[in-house]
Homo-oligomer: A and B are copies of this chain.
């Protein structure tokens, strides 16, 4: 398999962590690619027309995207029911947790594009504030639920951790830990797993 990724991408990191946790890393060749919405990478667009990472080419030559599809595919390659529970009750809880982490990341990335890519004269305060509100409410929910996440790693926890580490990386001055002690303690612990430590976001 071939996995297209970029070193800072929190969505690509979900797939990289999943591959490591599932024992598949040796079967996944990682290929670095540069993507940014204001600079379309049309060569990469021949693989993923959305020009986003991650994208995964299977051994059959079929290109999968986005991160959720890839992570479920990897889970299945490792036998299934590993990072994504098969049992209905737990499955919805974990998939909703993944949607929460992905949604916080989406809002963070839109803030990042606004502040680091868009020309300064074109920034819109209401947009920045609205995306920040999604992050704030999303992390407040994660704080309330973190105590119940248990010790068994799942794709929802991976998505939340990728969101939080990426916020630390891109917005080091934003103190999301304030008022969220359970989430902060949880991240400190999970961040010590080799799969997380080896894939910390970098420029």
Q: How many copies does the complex hold?
A: 2
A51 touches B92 (CB 8 A): no
A37 touches B137 (CB 8 A): no
User: Which residues of chain A (112-129) have a CB below 8 Å from chain B?
Assistant: 113, 118-119, 121-124, 126-127, 129
Answer yes or no: A15 CB below 8 A from chain B CBs: no
Q: Which of B39, B107, B127 contacts A118 (CB 8 A)?
A: B127
Contacts of A76 in B (CB 8 A): 88
B49 touches A100 (CB 8 A): yes
Q: Per-residue 0/1 for A49-73: is the Cβ within 8 Å of any B Cβ (1 yes, 0 no)? A: 1111000001000111110110011
B124 touches A95 (CB 8 A): no
The total of chain A residues at the interface (CB under 8 A) is: 53
User: Which residues of chain A (121-149) have a CB below 8 Å from chain B?
Assistant: 121-124, 126-127, 129-131, 133-134, 137-138, 140-141
User: Shortest Cβ distance from A139 into chain B, in angstroms?
Assistant: 8
Answer yes or no: A99 CB below 8 A from chain B CBs: yes
Answer yes or no: A7 CB below 8 A from chain B CBs: no
Contacts of A66 in B (CB 8 A): 99, 102-103
Q: Output the nearest chain B residue to A118 by Cβ-Cβ distance.
A: B124
Provide the bound-state CA to CA distance between A63 and B96, in Å. 9
Which are the 3 A-B pairs with shortest beta-carbon distances?
A49-B137, A50-B103, A38-B126
Provide the bound-state CA to CA distance between A154 and B4, in Å. 27
Q: Output the nearest chain B residue to A40 by Cβ-Cβ distance.
A: B133
